[in-house]
C-alpha cells in the first residue's frame, strides 16, 4: 500500500518523520548542466554521487529506488529539491540513473522506499 505521510519540522529526525514512506511514480535525472552547482541543502552537486532531489522528504533521507521496468535498484540520499516537472516524483543524479539503466530513456517508472 502506498501512503503519503504528513511531514513535520522541529524535533523530528529525518528517519522518524518518514518511516514507512513509499511512493510510486516517474523518475528523471539531472547531470552535466547542474554539476558543480549548489544543491538546496548547500552541498555542491556531484552528478557522480548517489544523490537525488525530492520535493518534500527531509534532507539526508536515504531511499531505495527500484526501476519497475527492469527491477534494478539503487540507494540514494536526498540533498536537493525537485523535480519541478509535472508528473515526476524524484530527480536522480546521473550516476544513480545509470545504475538504474535509465540514461537512454531519461525517465523510468520507479518505487521509492525509505531505508531506516
| Separation CA 5–CA 111 (nearest Å) | 16
Domain that holds residue 78: 22-114
The CATH number for 34's domain is 2.40.40.10
User: Across the chain, where does the E strand assignment appear?
Assistant: 22-30, 51-53, 62-67, 73-80, 88-93, 107-114
In-domain check, residue 3:
no
In-domain check, residue 14:
no
**Closest to 4 in 3D by CA, of 102, 79, 115, 112:** 112
What's the pTM? 0.84
For 66-77, what is the mean pLDDT? 98
How many domains are there within the chain?
Answer: 1
In-domain check, residue 52:
yes
Task: Identify the band that residue 100 occupies on the pLDDT scale cut at 50, 70 and 90.
Answer: very high
Task: Identify the band that residue 16 occupies on the pLDDT scale cut at 50, 70 and 90.
Answer: low
Q: Which of 1-5, 13-17, 77-81, 92-96 has the lowest mean pLDDT?
A: 1-5
Amino acid at each position: 500500500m502506498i501512503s503519503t505521510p504528513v511531514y513535520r519540522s522541529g524535533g523530528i529526525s529525518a528517519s522518524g518523520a518518514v518511516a514507512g514512506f513509499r511512493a510510486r511514480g516517474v523518475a528523471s535525472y539531472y547531470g552535466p548542466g547542474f554539476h558543480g552547482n549548489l544543491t538546496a541543502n548547500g552541498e555542491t552537486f556531484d552528478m557522480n554521487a548517489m544523490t537525488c532531489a525530492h520535493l518534500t522528504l527531509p534532507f539526508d533521507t536515504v531511499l531505495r529506488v527500484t526501476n519497475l521496468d527492469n527491477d534494478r535498484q539503487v540507494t540514494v540520499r536526498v540533498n536537493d529539491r525537485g523535480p519541478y516537472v509535472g508528473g515526476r516524483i524524484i530527480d536522480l543524479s546521473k550516476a544513480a540513473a545509470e545504475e538504474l539503466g535509465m540514461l537512454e530513456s531519461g525517465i523510468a517508472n520507479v518505487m521509492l522506499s525509505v531505508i531506516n
